[in-house]
Amino acid sequence: MCRHLAYVGEPVRLADLLLTPPHSLLAQSWSPRDMRGGGTVNADGYGIGWYTGEPEPVRVRRPAAMWTDAALPGLAGSVITGGVLAAVRSATIGMPVVETACAPFVGGRWLFSHNGLVRGWPSAVAALASRLPVTDLLLMDAPTDSALLWLLVRARLSAGVAPEKAVASVVTEVAEAAPGSRLNLLLTDGSTVVGTAWTHALWVRSLPGAVVVASEPYDEDPGWHEVPDGHLVTATPSNVDIMRLGDP
């Protein structure tokens, strides 16, 4: 399963968040500690989205292992930002290895990522998908479960649904339609992070003036707390709220 991380708070250098910690997202791309449901490395691409002071984030994605991108250390060493969502991908069997399948997905001020898989893809969720505008489906980033989950969340956000309710309702409806799915989602607008633990690991750590939510702790600090399975976390630099969604 892929690995992902979201950070909001005091400005940080991308390299200090994603590359240099002892068990950074970069290290998790070739040596993850907690892969579930298949896969050993996260080498099928990566993506980083960050906020620059404008409402809409900047994003880069590449369809190759993070460690192969010679331009990344220079880029990550020169960007300082107060909001990040980054992911490394291990493509689910049968899904394409292309740039457009890599998280984060973007829409307006939002960045989104999915760690996991939808069981019985695509037929199990065809009924849910059929309620989306056909133009959304035609313009979908890639023919993957993660890209569809983003369309489902985005449609609710566009309809004015609060982010935690949009994420919670998509997880519970997809889990009902496709039992056994792994649905660890991350959503941020650069100020708040919403994440779900649904049959996969998720950790949260409060820092001075910041908060980070990640698939795996990036260091050995005792301040990391695991989000219990079947729960949703809403995190800001000043508050972490954990709410039960149901039994996966």
Strand ranges across the sheet with 3-13: 58-62, 46-50, 80-88, 3-13, 210-214, 203-207, 224-226
Q: Map residue 173 onto helix, strand or coil.
A: helix
Q: Which of 29, 81, 90, 181 binds ligand GLN (CB under 6 A)?
A: 90
Q: Is 92 in the site for ligand GLN (CB under 6 A)?
A: yes
Q: Please pick, among 1, 2, 88, 103, the residue that the annotation labels catalytic.
A: 2
Q: Is 101 in the site for ligand GLN (CB under 6 A)?
A: yes
Q: Map residue 205 onto helix, strand or coil.
A: strand
Q: Which is nearer to ligand GLN, 41 or 161 (CB)?
A: 41
Q: In the complex, what is the shortest distance from the CB of residue 132 to ligand GLN, in angstroms, rounded to a whole number? A: 18
Q: Tell which residue, 183, 157, 173, 168, has the closest CA to residue 234.
A: 168
Candidates 56-64, 129-137, 138-146, 223-231: pick the segment binding ligand GLN (CB under 6 A). 138-146
Candidates 62-70, 77-85, 114-122, 203-211: pick the segment binding ligand GLN (CB under 6 A). 114-122
Q: Is 102 among the catalytic positions?
A: no
Q: Which is nearer to ligand GLN, 2 or 210 (CB)?
A: 2
Phi and psi (nearest 5°) for 171? -60, -45
Q: In the complex, what is the shortest distance from the CB of residue 55 to ligand GLN, in angstroms, rounded to a whole number? A: 27
Total site size for ligand GLN, rule CB under 6 A: 16
Strands (E) in 70-214, as ranges, are 80-88, 105-107, 110-117, 182-188, 193-197, 203-207, 210-214
Calculate the CA 120 to chain-centre distance: 21
Q: In the complex, what is the shortest distance from the CB of residue 1 to ligand GLN, in angstroms, rounded to a whole number? A: 4
Q: Which residue has the tokens 């079947």?
A: 230
Catalytic residue numbers read: 2
Give the binding site for ligand GLN (CB under 6 A). 1-2, 39, 89-92, 95, 101, 114-117, 144-146
